Amino acid sequence: MPKKEDKKHDELINVEHALTSTEVFIEKYQKQIIYAVGAVVLVVLIALSFRNFYLQPREVAAENEMYKAQGYFAKDSFRIALEGRGSESIGFKEIVSDYGITASGKLAAAYAGICYYKLGQYDNAIKYLSQFDGKDTYFSASVIGLTGDCYVEMGETDKAIKYFEKAADKENAVMSPVYLKKAGLVYESLNKPDKAEKEYTKIKDNYPKSPEASDIDKYIARVQK
């Protein structure tokens, strides 16, 4: 049985061998290692500079412009909110164009889509609504659902149903039953009572406390005739 001293000696030899191998590797590839480390540092510095000296200032500027445009939006002045008012406000459309990379710029796309919907320009509404990709389930569901409303107005009911069902899939207790009901109504208009009943039943089973569920039995009975 080997002694503890011999075992420790062998371990030290193995460590020394590993260190020697590492030193040889570093010496052999020293230039490549330096270049690689330098490249990583450069990428990090560029990313930090982009965020601190470009993105953040533009985010602040976009937020300021959003505040002005939202003021007109709140007053139902949708065209001014969309297109701006001279030097006073540049409007949602230009915010998307100038600051689209920022969070406010992406939100402006949703607002621009809503404005176009209110103005009856459904193609443009869909164009801008589709640019929004938010994390909040309430607002995201509303944007997706409004895209469905645009398709309804354009007579493209199949696409409308697709978006209503996609909005309902967000599983938001407030918005999902709204869009399930809209999908059901469109199915009814297409004379597809079985599919309409399926949408209405989802409201009854999954959202029994929602306002849409209060009279949903009437809709279910109607399509069962």
pTM: predicted TM-score of the whole model, two decimal places: 0.74
The β-bridge partners of 89 are 85
Assess whether pLDDT exceeds 70 at residue 26.
no
> What average pLDDT does range 27-34 have in this prediction?
60
Assess whether pLDDT exceeds 70 at residue 204.
yes
CB 115 within 8 A of CB 149: no
> What average pLDDT does range 217-225 have in this prediction?
91
Tell me which of 53 and 29 has the higher pLDDT: 29
**pLDDT score at 134:** 76
For residue 58, give the amino acid letter.
R
CB 149 within 8 A of CB 129: no
Assess whether pLDDT exceeds 90 at residue 178.
yes
| Domain assignments of the chain as residue spans, ordered by start | 134-225
**pLDDT score at 47:** 45
Longest dimension (CA), the chain: 93
User: Which superfamily does CATH assign the domain made up of 134-225 to?
Assistant: Tetratricopeptide repeat domain (1.25.40.10)
Say which residues have a Cβ less than 8 Å from residue 180's Cβ, sequence separation at least 6.
164, 165, 168, 199, 200, 202, 203, 207, 212
- Structure confidence at residue 149 as a pLDDT band (50, 70, 90): very high
**pLDDT score at 211:** 95
**pLDDT score at 73:** 92
- Structure confidence at residue 15 as a pLDDT band (50, 70, 90): very low
How far is CA 167 from each of CA 53, 159, 212, rounded to the nearest angstrom? 37, 12, 15
**pLDDT score at 48:** 46
CB 105 within 8 A of CB 98: yes
Q: What is d(CA 159, CA 211) in angstroms, rounded to the nearest whole number?
A: 26
- Structure confidence at residue 50 as a pLDDT band (50, 70, 90): very low
Mean per-residue pLDDT of the chain: 82
CB 90 within 8 A of CB 98: yes
> What average pLDDT does range 18-43 have in this prediction?
59
Tokens coding 166: 């996609």
Tell me which of 202 and 29 has the higher pLDDT: 202
**Cα–Cα–Cα angle for 113, 115, 116, rounded to 5 degrees:** 65
Model confidence over 57-76: pLDDT tens digits?
556 666 778 889 999 999 99
Model confidence over 66-114: pLDDT tens digits?
889 999 999 999 999 999 998 888 999 998 988 867 788 889 999 999 9
**pLDDT score at 130:** 93
